[in-house]
Amino acid sequence: MSEPPRSANPPAPAAPAAPARSGLARFGARLGVGALFVAALAAGGALTALRPNSDVRERPFVTAGGLGERVSTRTFDVTVLDVRGAAQVARFRQAHDTGGVWIVVRLRLTARNDPTTVGYAALRDERGRLYQQSERFTQPLTNSWVLQPGIPVEGEVAFEVPRAAASRLWLRLAENLAEQGMDSMAEVALLPVDPSTVDGWTRSTAPVPLQTPGAVGT
Partner 1 sequence: MSRVSAGSGAGSRRLAARLFGIPLRWLGLSAGAATLAVSGFFGGLEGPDEPAIPVVQPGTVDRGSPWNVTVSRVRLVNDLGTLRLTVPGDRWLAVVATVEVTADESRNDLDDVLRLTGVLGLMSQEPAHVMLMRDATELGRLNPGMPEEIAFVWEQSAGAAPPGTVTVQIYGKTYRMDNLANRMEWLDPAVRAEVVAPVQDRRAG
Closest CA to 96 of 197, 213, 210, 196: 210
DSSP state letters, 148-165: PBT--EEEEEEEEE-GGG
Interface contacts to partner 1, rule CB under 8 A: 13, 16-17, 19-20, 22-24, 26-27, 30, 53-55, 58, 96-100, 122, 127-132, 134-136, 160-162, 164-165
In the complex, the smallest distance separating the C-beta of residue 7 from partner 1, rounded to whole angstroms, is 16
In the complex, the smallest distance separating the C-beta of residue 176 from partner 1, rounded to whole angstroms, is 15
When the beta carbons of 51 and 203 are compared against partner 1, the nearer one is 51
Chain-centroid distance of CA 107 in Å reads: 23
When the beta carbons of 152 and 207 are compared against partner 1, the nearer one is 207
Give the span between the Cα atoms of 205 and 152, in whole angstroms: 33
In the complex, the smallest distance separating the C-beta of residue 72 from partner 1, rounded to whole angstroms, is 25
In the complex, the smallest distance separating the C-beta of residue 163 from partner 1, rounded to whole angstroms, is 10
When the beta carbons of 131 and 145 are compared against partner 1, the nearer one is 131
DSSP 3-state assignment of 143? coil
In the complex, the smallest distance separating the C-beta of residue 193 from partner 1, rounded to whole angstroms, is 18
C-alpha torsion 28→33→39→40, nearest 10? 170
When the beta carbons of 98 and 116 are compared against partner 1, the nearer one is 98
C-alpha torsion 22→24→30→31, nearest 10? -160
When the beta carbons of 99 and 217 are compared against partner 1, the nearer one is 99
